[in-house]
Amino acid sequence: MLTVGVSLLLALSFGTFLSALPFFNFIPAILITAAISGFGPASLATLLSTALIDFYFLPAGGLGIANPLQAERLVFFDGYCLLLSWFLAAYRAELLRIRGEQVRNLELLASAAPAMAWIVDRNRRCIYVNDRWLAFTGRTLTQELGEGWAESMSAEDRPVALSMFQTAFEAREPFRNEYRLRRHDGTYRWIYSYGVPMLMR
């Protein structure tokens, strides 16, 4: 609802300019809500915007009773916003479905790999390590998620290894690195790490 609040603030700040067409000031806020949060929050944003428009911009009487033309515009505004919100929410859901399939495919590939493998998201946080990684470190998947995967690195190697990883990640470039990783029995073994970016659309 933050986007609706910003729209209201702009509308009140430039009330003289926007009083004739207050509807258009709220449409971007509703569509942004649909694209980010889905159809449910966008529907709520539409209803909230309608109430705000009626309260602040339409003639006294409520819901345009004093002005049938304004009431007709409100109905058109609601229908237009709900329709566009539905399309955007459906598009967002399809993108999330495709991205979920891509992640699952990557996990299947990583599980079948004859080596230790890991996957990180766009925030550089680990979202998956395969069974070979878990068997080597003796840790659980929950422990490795987020920043946990780096906890098994040697304290001496960790700063340089993570710095190289971060630099390559931000440049969206492959990287190669070697560092010592703690095994399940507490001993450290040298690991050759190779990472490649896979940009999901």
pLDDT above 80 for 139: yes
- Strand 126-129 and strand 118-120: pairing? antiparallel
Same domain membership, residue 87 and residue 17: yes
Same domain membership, residue 54 and residue 10: yes
Per-residue pLDDT at 30: 75
Q: Which token pair is 31?
A: 């569509």
- Domain extent at residue 13: 2-95
Same domain membership, residue 77 and residue 122: no
Residue 166 and residue 124 in contact, taking contact as beta carbons nearer than 8 Å: yes
Separation between Cα atoms, residue 95 and residue 69, nearest integer Å: 39
* Predicted TM-score of the model (pTM): 0.49
Residue 27 lies in a domain: yes
Same domain membership, residue 78 and residue 124: no
* Element (DSSP H or E) covering residue 34: helix 23-37
Separation between Cα atoms, residue 136 and residue 182, nearest integer Å: 8
Same domain membership, residue 65 and residue 129: no
pLDDT above 50 for 4: no
Same domain membership, residue 126 and residue 60: no
Residue 200 and residue 102 in contact, taking contact as beta carbons nearer than 8 Å: yes
Per-residue pLDDT at 32: 76
pLDDT digits (tens, 9 = 90+) for 27-86: 777 777 777 777 777 777 777 777 776 666 655 544 444 566 666 677 777 777 777 777
pLDDT digits (tens, 9 = 90+) for 140-198: 989 999 999 999 999 999 999 999 999 988 888 888 889 999 999 999 999 998 888 87
End-to-end CA separation in angstroms for the chain: 27
Separation between Cα atoms, residue 150 and residue 64, nearest integer Å: 61
CA dihedral 42, 43, 46, 48 (to 10 degrees): -100
